[in-house]
Structure 1
Amino acid sequence: MYALLKILRTFLRLIQVYAVIVIVANAARYCFVHIPLVIITASFLQFVLDVIPQTRIRNLSNKAVLITGCDTGLGNALARTLDSIGFRVFAACLKANSPGADSLKSNCSEKLTVIQLDVTKDDDVEAARRVVEDSLKNSGDVLWGVVNNSGIAIFGEVEWLSVGMYQEVLDVNLLGMIRVTKQFLPLLRESKGRIVNASSIQGRFASPFSSSYCISKFAVEAFGDSLRYEMYKWGIKVVTIEPGNFASASAQFQPETFRSGMEKVWNEMPTDIQELYGKKYVDAVTDSIVRTPQTGYSNPSMVMDDYVKALTLENPSTRYLPSGLAWKMLCNVLYFSPSWVGDLFFKATWLMWKNNRPGQLSS
């Protein structure tokens, strides 16, 4: 059954590659009818394949999973989900006494342990490894999975963001992931377990106002691929999760967080850049970003289902894109099509901003 599914998924990828070849060879004739139809069809078939039952690992009671970024949002929800199906869970939180951490302690089983962990600090990561090792020695369980979920986002145009802001995002989203993975690989090698990395749909295609976030997620995709190739020989499976728009299910994408973040960006912007763009334009961008969650999903169940598949299927996919069909089609169109398709899409969006232009473009 698994071999058949692999063949079908490979066939669908070939269809998508074929679509790109046809775009290049027959752009004028096919670009508005044939190619979108092929990509949409392939996306729909992939959507159907994802719901076909597959063989799962039976005994979870002796398996432990470490999850980073459990204070809020998807990480917190995943800790609850994995605890409910029988895993021993190490829920790593930036603050062990945060409201989210306290909620996990109160509402989950005794098999869940909250660990304080700042993924940007080597000492914290080493201390977390020692806590996990000691706990596993006492329980007799094995570390089956590491879920690298910690992430932050800083939004704004490239000229608005300082190099320090880019470093801040990369230190959590990418380097934090690498720190945690390297520390826990020896334990995963013993169990031949799983590494599950949180990427994003924006690890597939970039968009305006989110360069620092997109850069980090593109890098997560590359890290996951390189690691997966290297871990074959050890029997460790590496899976990348690429959620669509679940902004409303994540604390960092809440309106108040967006606005305070953009205010910080404005305050730290050089004076000449402030004068070039103007506060009116920056506020319009902020309003646009704040509206992003309204077009997405508030229920994280699709994301949780794919995380569970990544950790419990005998042969999980290398990537999961938890999202509705429309977002999957958009992702495939922008990912597999030539660059001019994305350019056209975002240029059309820019034209709709005719009443909200940077200050010096409006004069």
Structure 2
Amino acid sequence: MHFSPRKGFTVFAGFEEVETEKSSECTATSSSALKEQSSGRVHIIQLDVTSEEQIQKVKEYIQDNLPSGATGIWAVVNLGVWACFGEAEWLPFAAIRRSTEVNLLGVVRLTQIFLPQLRRTKGRVINVVSALGSIPTPLRSPYCACAAAIRAFSDCLRLEMRRWGVDVVVVTPGEALSGCFLTEERLVDQARSMWAWLGDAAKAEIGQDYFEMKVRSLRPYVESQQPEADLFVVLRALTDAVSRTFPLTRYQPVSPAERLKTFVAEHLPRSFYDIVYN
């Protein structure tokens, strides 16, 4: 993202899939909607953060399409969201690896690539990190672990980049879900994959009733997703992080319940949190 006081934002928005015949309905809808609602200053580009080849192509594309006179981008906004749901023992390791590659390693690599430009512009890195990074949550351990790791990475990077005048900001939204992040169909597919991956001994010890009960516990999470969710507070935090002269180091646009849960997790004995929230 490049920011110019006179012209506003020139945005390079990366999607794992852009609108093609092979793209998923969710991704195609998101990218096409952004195209329709934005001005000519928004560039929709394909970006799989796990692909070094695509990252390098995006770097070249951005360099070739920067506004006249710009020496680099003003801000990198990282948002890695790929989650697998289930107890740690149940999850195929390939799913855990994928979550780590997208939510952690992809964010780190993309940041590395653009740090030289950010040094020149004295810009900023903005990492959007789920509040689950500080709220232990059953059935989401890989995602929670990656979120916690990105928070730590951001805090270290902030100290490293201070001498260069580069800000590092963390935005930690709550469960502000929009669109089709987790659908009923995807939930069922993941459950079948997990059950098939478990060995016979594990299936016998865990029991199918307990397994299905845990899967059903995710249904309210699926049903809470709204295509037109009110993301105003999250967008306001992101806008402030990008454009403010002296941005905060951390923005936390969460609900009061999530704020309380975070406080308990971070400031009270862990045993108290385990009793209250499990």
Query: TM-score, normalised to structure 2's length?
Result: 0.88
1:164 deviation in Å? 2.3
Which secondary structure does the structure 1 equivalent of 2:39 belong to? Answer: coil
1:99 deviation in Å? 3.2
Equivalent residue runs for 1:210-249 within 5 Å? 210-247=140-177, 249=178
1:61 deviation in Å? 4.2
Q: Deviations over 1:217-247 (max 9, x none)?
A: 1111111111111010111101111111223
Looking at structure 1, the residues matched to 234 and 188 of structure 2 have their Cα atoms a distance apart, in angstroms, of 26
1:250 deviation in Å? 5.0
Percent of pairs with identical residues: 31
Residue type at the aligned position of 2:210: Y
Which secondary structure does the structure 1 equivalent of 2:81 belong to? Answer: coil
Residue type at the aligned position of 2:74: W
Residue type at the aligned position of 2:252: L
- Give the structure 1 partner of residue 121 of structure 2: 191
- Flag the 1:99–1:110 CA change in 2: closer, same or farther, 3 A: same
2:84 corresponds to 1:162: no
1:262 deviation in Å? 2.5
- Give the structure 2 partner of residue 283 of structure 1: 212
Looking at structure 1, the residues matched to 5 and 197 of structure 2 have their Cα atoms a distance apart, in angstroms, of 49
Gaps of 5+ in 2: 20-27
Residue type at the aligned position of 2:95: M
Equivalent residue runs for 1:199-218 within 5 Å? 199-218=129-148
2:237 corresponds to 1:303: no
- Flag the 1:256–1:61 CA change in 2: closer, same or farther, 3 A: farther
Residue type at the aligned position of 2:68: S
- Give the structure 2 partner of residue 87 of structure 1: 9
- Flag the 1:250–1:200 CA change in 2: closer, same or farther, 3 A: farther
2:21 corresponds to 1:99: no
Looking at structure 1, the residues matched to 238 and 125 of structure 2 have their Cα atoms a distance apart, in angstroms, of 11
- Flag the 1:90–1:59 CA change in 2: closer, same or farther, 3 A: closer
Residue type at the aligned position of 2:47: L
The answer to whether the Cα contact below 8 Å between 2:47 and 2:55 also exists between their aligned partners in 1 is yes
- Flag the 1:264–1:128 CA change in 2: closer, same or farther, 3 A: same
Q: Deviations over 1:135-161 (max 9, x none)?
A: 01x533441111111220011111101
- Flag the 1:308–1:118 CA change in 2: closer, same or farther, 3 A: same
Query: TM-score, normalised to structure 1's length?
Result: 0.69
Residue type at the aligned position of 1:338: P
- Give the structure 2 partner of residue 140 of structure 1: 69
Q: Give the structure with the larger helix fraction.
A: 1
Which secondary structure does the structure 1 equivalent of 2:273 belong to? Answer: helix
Which secondary structure does the structure 2 equivalent of 1:153 belong to? Answer: coil
- Give the structure 2 partner of residue 258 of structure 1: 187
1:253 deviation in Å? 2.9
- Flag the 1:223–1:318 CA change in 2: closer, same or farther, 3 A: same
- Give the structure 2 partner of residue 35 of structure 1: none
- Flag the 1:282–1:292 CA change in 2: closer, same or farther, 3 A: same
Looking at structure 1, the residues matched to 68 and 99 of structure 2 have their Cα atoms a distance apart, in angstroms, of 36
Gaps of 5+ in 1: 1-57, 63-85, 350-363
Larger Rg: 1
Q: 1:325 aligns with which of 238, 253, 256?
A: 256
Which secondary structure does the structure 2 equivalent of 1:114 belong to? Answer: strand
Looking at structure 2, the residues matched to 294 and 312 of structure 1 have their Cα atoms a distance apart, in angstroms, of 34
1:95 deviation in Å? 1.5
Residue type at the aligned position of 1:309: D
Which secondary structure does the structure 2 equivalent of 1:146 belong to? Answer: strand
Residue type at the aligned position of 2:218: I
Which secondary structure does the structure 2 equivalent of 1:87 belong to? Answer: strand
- Give the structure 2 partner of residue 3 of structure 1: none
- Give the structure 1 partner of residue 23 of structure 2: none
- Give the structure 2 partner of residue 149 of structure 1: 79
- Flag the 1:111–1:343 CA change in 2: closer, same or farther, 3 A: same
Looking at structure 2, the residues matched to 287 and 146 of structure 1 have their Cα atoms a distance apart, in angstroms, of 37
The answer to whether the Cα contact below 8 Å between 1:189 and 1:234 also exists between their aligned partners in 2 is yes
The answer to whether the Cα contact below 8 Å between 1:159 and 1:273 also exists between their aligned partners in 2 is no
Which secondary structure does the structure 2 equivalent of 1:253 belong to? Answer: coil
